[in-house]
Structure 1
Amino acid sequence: MAHWTDTRPAHQQIAALLRDRIMSGRLAPGVQLPSTQQLMAEFDVVGTTVQKALQVLKAEGLAVGRPGKGVFVRAQPHHSIVPAAYMPPSRTGEPYAWMPEAAARSMTGASRILEVAELQPPRDIAQALELPADKRAVLRRRLLLLDEEPAELVHSYYPADLAVGTRLTDRRRIRGGSPTLLTELGYPPRRFVDRISVRPPTTEEVLALELPAEVCVLRTARVVYSDADRPIEVSVMVKAGHLYELEYGMRVGPGGP
């Protein structure tokens, strides 16, 4: 049997183990982490190594220090996102689903428009939208927030022949979100396909999401299809990998999917 050695510094290894315990629920939200002495004994390290590991978790927002009391797991260390919840159009007059979904978790959701532009899309985006090489797309770049903290950086692309002349080109929020507007335009979302990957963040993502060091991001590339399987939107959504997880459901057997 082959053997591997973890070559990371000891404090990173300890932080990784504690992070796993937090994200799996073995260290529940709000509970106090083991004391420095307990962690020193468990991992056979000196106190400064333990303190460096705890500082990593604090910087990531997974733990908070309380002077004179200790270090505690954050009350809500990570969030579960249900992608399907954001696909249906909102009811008349209701906001984009991000806001009510946040409210259901006792949080405040918000959306900030960073850029709206008509451009030549990247090759992978053009292929997903089935655009000829000379066709352009409309980009809407947004930052989604939870309780005023950056949660998700989104790049959404739409075929220019569909988007130009509509509110998709306005640099302001769309009431009900793009699914509602696309439905109004005669292109109701019918299905979507997600591709999910994990990687180190780009500089844009580090700055926009205010990420600490040594954190990977969760990247979701989504293609949305309307009637006749026409692709109408491609979105690249990036979240902090240590704070968010995605929840999918699918029927198996008769009656689904």
Structure 2
Amino acid sequence: MAGDLPSGAQLPSIPTLVTQYGAATATIQRALAALKDEGYLHSHVGKGVYVRDREPLVVTATAYVPPSEGRFAYEILEVTEIEPPAEVSHSLGLASGEPALLRHRLLRYRSEPVELSWSYYPAAIVRHTELARPQRIRGGAPRVLAEIGHPQQRHVDRVSARMPTTEELERLDLPANVPVLRQFRVVHSPDRPVEATVMVKGAHLHELRYDREADGVDGR
């Protein structure tokens, strides 16, 4: 990922790696197998092991990734009203037992699954909008929310890493023992929070890009 081994570079032989790292042959073989599973290396039989031409998928941390022909595409997995998790309910300012509308989606990049998302909206304000329908939405949630008087003004992200759940492992087709990045995003309109989204993506594929002007340093 740092570019020390460029795309197409051939790795040293296993005996050379054993000597270089002072590790057992079996350990080196397991490491190479893991890197192949994660998409960093590939083998040419009789020739050797090479670095794949695969850069990290750099995702700009915006409130909405528009679909694009041949690149990003959303698959709707579920649209329903539910009692949301406590984290979501608190972030949206919902009263105890107040429902939220859930849109559960799978994002694909060039047909490969790359992200699962669970987006929650206060049911009272979106129940009769396009967001409540199990279909793709032109312009996404930002357009719908703006049209009903809740334009998106800013969003706050919390990013953490953990091991995947069974659903995440299967739907994202993750290699074994690869953690995921979890983004918890709260989107605010001028008067209230209007969306809380959990986004989960394989840590071996992604970098998150934040670009903002400096607003002071607090010394921590």
TM > 0.5 fold call: yes
**One-letter amino acid of the counterpart of residue 69, structure 1:** K
Counterpart of 2:67 in structure 1 is: 99
Letter in 2 for 1:211: L
- Give the counterpart letter for 1:240 in structure 2: G
Offset of residue 38 of structure 1: 2.2
Alignment of 1:189 with 2:157, yes or no, is no
More displaced 10-residue stretch of structure 1: 203-212 or 121-130? 203-212
Shift of 1:253: 5.4
1:24 aligns with 2:5: no
Q: 1:231 aligns with which of 193, 200, 206?
A: 193
Q: Does 1:245 align with 2:213?
A: no
Q: Separation in 2 of the partners of 1:55 and 1:253?
A: 44
Instruction: State the match for 1:205 in structure 2.
Output: 168
* Partner residue in 2 for 1:160: 123
Q: Structure 2 stretches of 5 or more lacking a match?
A: none
Task: Name the aligned partner's letter for residue 238 of structure 1.
Answer: V
Q: Residue 187 of structure 2: SS of its match in structure 1? A: strand
Alpha-carbon distance in structure 1 between the residues aligned to 2:122 and 2:187:
12
Question: Does the CA contact (< 8 Å) of 1:63 and 1:77 recur in 2?
Answer: no
TM-score by length of 1: 0.79
Distance apart, 1:177 and its partner CA: 1.4
Q: Is residue 28 of structure 2 the alignment partner of residue 50 of structure 1?
A: yes
1:32 Cα deviation after fit:
2.3
Residues 165-184 of structure 1 mapped to structure 2, 5 A cutoff = 165-184=128-147
Residue 27 of structure 1: how far off its partner (Å):
1.6
**4+ runs deviating over 4 angstroms:** none
Alignment of 1:4-23 (within 5 A): 23=1
Question: Counterparts of 2:8 and 2:72 in 1: how far apart (Å)?
Answer: 22
**Counterpart residue number, 2:15:** 37
User: Displacement, 1:46?
Assistant: 4.1
Whole-angstrom CA distance in 1 between matches of 2:50 and 2:194: 45
Cα deviation, residue 243, structure 1: 1.1
After superposition, give the CA deviation of every residue in 1:170-223 in whole Å (9 maximum; x if it has no partner).
Answer: 111111211122222221110000001011111111111111111111000000
Aligned length: 216
SS at match of 1:99: coil
| Structure richer in helix, relative to its length | 1
1:68 to 27, 30, 46: 46
- 1:245 and 1:194 map into 2 onto residues whose CA distance is 14
- More strand per residue: 1 or 2? 2
Q: 1:225, 1:253 → 2: CA distance? A: 19
Q: Could you say what the CA RMSD is over the residues aligned between the two structures, in angstroms?
A: 1.7
Unaligned runs of 5+ in 1: 1-22, 88-96
Contact 2:88–2:120 (8 Å) recurs in 1: yes
**Residue 143 of structure 1 contacts residue 150 of structure 1 at CA under 8 Å; is this kept in 2?**
yes
**Structure 1 residues 181 and 31 mapped into 2: Cα distance closer, same or farther (>3 Å)?**
farther
CA contact (8 A) 2:39 2:54 kept: no
- Contact 1:37–1:47, Cα closer than 8 Å, also in 2: yes
- Measured after TM superposition, the shift of residue 165 of structure 1 is 1.0
CA distance in 1, matches of 2:149, 2:47: 58
| TM-score normalised by L of structure 2 | 0.91
The AA in structure 1 aligned to 2:209 is: E
**Alignment-derived partner of residue 20 in structure 1:** none
Q: Structure 1 vs Structure 2: percent identity of aligned residues? A: 44
